[in-house]
Structure 1
Amino acid sequence: MIDFELRLENETLLLRPLEGQDLPGLMNLTSEPDLWRFYTHDLSTLESLIAWSKPAFEKQRLQFIIIDKGNGLPMGCTAFGNISERDKRLEIGWTWLGKAYQGKGINNQVKRLMLSHCFDILELERVEFKTDVLNIQARNSLKNIGAIEEGVLRSHTLMTKERRRDTIYYSILKSEWNYVKRENDW
């Protein structure tokens, strides 16, 4: 179902598979520990970035690097993971943007590219998202793109600094996709 060489792009962004040689360049974006408060890993060191990337390099998820086509610089990462071909579903996640790229509509463009591929090309039945129940910014972003809140799994995931996260799930279904596109002017 998933082509691990897949590239997605629009006029301004390129999403291409993460490669090992990308990691040192991403350190310019990841060095602030505060970025990782709601993330499962603190990517502020090269060692932690390498460990976090391991599932991508083992093809357990398709981790994209997000590149600004105007200047060729990386802006962050996102991924397709938890793929179930039988169930025609996957998760979009593992998303982060460098501080300079947050709040500029980039995440919305990224989600549009990914969701269009999921529903229009792969013809999936369901796309899932999950985040920390405390991450209000991520929750609002998911609601803004039309994802439906489904529920909370308590003490679900170990976070940085040994905190246990309550994880909130969202989804978009195939039957909702045309509405999501229309409401977001996609």
Structure 2
Amino acid sequence: MGWHTLARAELENEHVLLRPLVADDREALRRIAEEEEFERVFAGLLAGQRAGRSAVFHIADRTSGRSAGTVSFDDLAEADGRVEIGRPWPATAGPGTDVGHWATYLLLEHAFEGLRAQRAGFRTDVLDLRARRELRDIGATEEGVLRSYEPAPGGRRRDAVCFSVLAFEWPEVKRRLAAGPRGRRSKTH
């Protein structure tokens, strides 16, 4: 069984539940999304998943029982032993939030312990200093900037900063993540 199938597992701990995104998640996500182009974004997530380009997860906050967004495995390159973690949507599911912290923990755990990946990568906007700090804080290595990588809201071109965690680094990163999102108030909603 290949990574595209194995990646679509249900992942959970006492904080969050991640399960493969389905069309029925539309209304729960619409209630929390602040996107003007909600239908386009949601359809794009489902299309990427159907095409095998990504494994998109719906995130449920186990504390409140509510939908908290989505996150995905992208660039599933089984032959190369690498995966990319990203596309938190909406931003309340991303780095710097309690939900984002625990979703990142589960995805990295699945990447290294389930899929046996050798590398997990992340890309974030060069202007997103909070996400960059969070990735460094968990032990991810900042590798460089891809200039003018993709379109961003407001008509600008986004420069993407690349980070990674390698398999031999996973035990230390896991220890940091398991310690929790220390000293931050919950920003999940």
TM bucket (normalised to shorter chain) is 0.7 to 0.9
Aligned to 2:147: 154
Which residue, 16, 20, 26 being the options, matches 1:23?
A: 26
How far did 1:150 drift?
A: 0.1
Corresponding residue SS for 2:116: coil
Deviation at 1:65, TM superposition (A): 0.6
Using the TM superposition, give the Cα deviation of residue 102 of structure 1 relative to its aligned residue in structure 2, in angstroms. Answer: 8.0
The structural deviation recorded for 1:80 is 0.4
SS of the residue aligned with 1:6? coil
Residues 4 and 17, structure 1, Cα contact 8 Å, conserved in 2: no
Change (3 A) 1:185 1:12: closer
Counterparts in 2 of 1:6-17, with a 5 A limit?
Answer: 6-17=9-20
The one-letter amino acid of 2:41's match is: L
Of 37, 41, 49, the residue aligned with 1:49 is 41
1:87-124 Cα deviation digits (max 9, x unpaired): 10000001135659985422111111111111112111
TM-superposed CA distance for 1:46, in Å, is 3.3
Aligned residue for 1:68?
Answer: 61
CA distance in 2, matches of 1:48, 1:98: 17
Q: Distance in 2 between matches of 1:64 and 1:133?
A: 25
Equivalent-residue separation in structure 1 for 2:39 and 2:114 (angstroms): 36
Number of residue-to-residue matches in the alignment: 175
- Deviation above 4 Å: which 4+ runs of structure 1? 97-104
Q: Kindly report which structure 2 residues correspond to 1:158-173, keeping only aligned pairs within 5 A, or say none.
A: 158-173=151-166
Distance in structure 2 (CA, Å) of the matches to 1:82 and 1:148: 19
Residue of structure 2 equivalent to 1:36: none
Aligned to 2:98: 105
2:139 match: secondary structure = coil
Secondary structure of the corresponding residue to residue 80 of structure 2: coil
Mark the runs of 5 or more structure 1 residues left unpaired by the alignment.
32-42
TM-score normalised by length of structure 1 = 0.84
1 CA distance for matches of 2:96 and 2:8? 29
The answer to whether residue 133 in structure 2 is matched with residue 140 in structure 1 is: yes
- Cα-Cα RMSD: 2.2
